Amino acid sequence: MAEMSWNDFRARRAVLDEVLARAHVDPALALRFDEVPGAIQLFGSADNILLALQHRWSNHLAARLDQAVEDGTPVNAAWRALAGEQPALRALLDTAAASSLPLRASQRDEQRMIEAHTTGRVSGSGATGGSARDRRMTPV
């Protein structure tokens, strides 16, 4: 597998930004990736674009969940706050899940991450201490 250059990274990010801009208007129409210049060429498939967007969501969510655990805030409040801040991304992922098996699998992983934070099955939590930044997921 070839390494991604900074130019490739920037081009891929521009595609994701364009998809999200379109999702602000209509999440279902934003799924027409063949209408986004370079999208399929850079990502290889619609599923890869969706997985990249899910990865973006999951990274933001993981940080929010860690902070929620640290602050004692309910994790569902952290999820709702992020969904409120990134409505186009959330709507696009929700819409796309109906037709993308890989995306649904990734969203199941997200659910396991949420459950781990909810139940305290995040290493470093509880009596053993450790900051949220140092926590790693443990199997549920």
What are the structure tokens assigned to 39, written together?
């999208």
Contacts of range 89-95, beta carbons closer than 8 Å, 24 or more positions apart:
89/20, 89/23, 89/53, 89/56, 89/57, 90/57, 91/23, 91/27, 92/19, 92/20, 92/23, 92/27, 92/30, 92/31, 92/53, 93/50, 93/53, 93/54, 93/57, 94/27, 95/27, 95/28, 95/31
Gyration radius of the chain over CA positions: 17
Digit-by-digit pLDDT tens for the chain (140 residues) are: 568 899 999 999 999 999 999 999 999 999 999 999 999 999 999 999 999 999 999 999 999 999 999 999 998 999 999 999 999 999 999 999 999 999 999 999 988 988 888 887 554 444 333 333 333 332 32
Q: What is the pLDDT of residue 54?
A: 97
Q: What is the pLDDT of residue 117?
A: 87
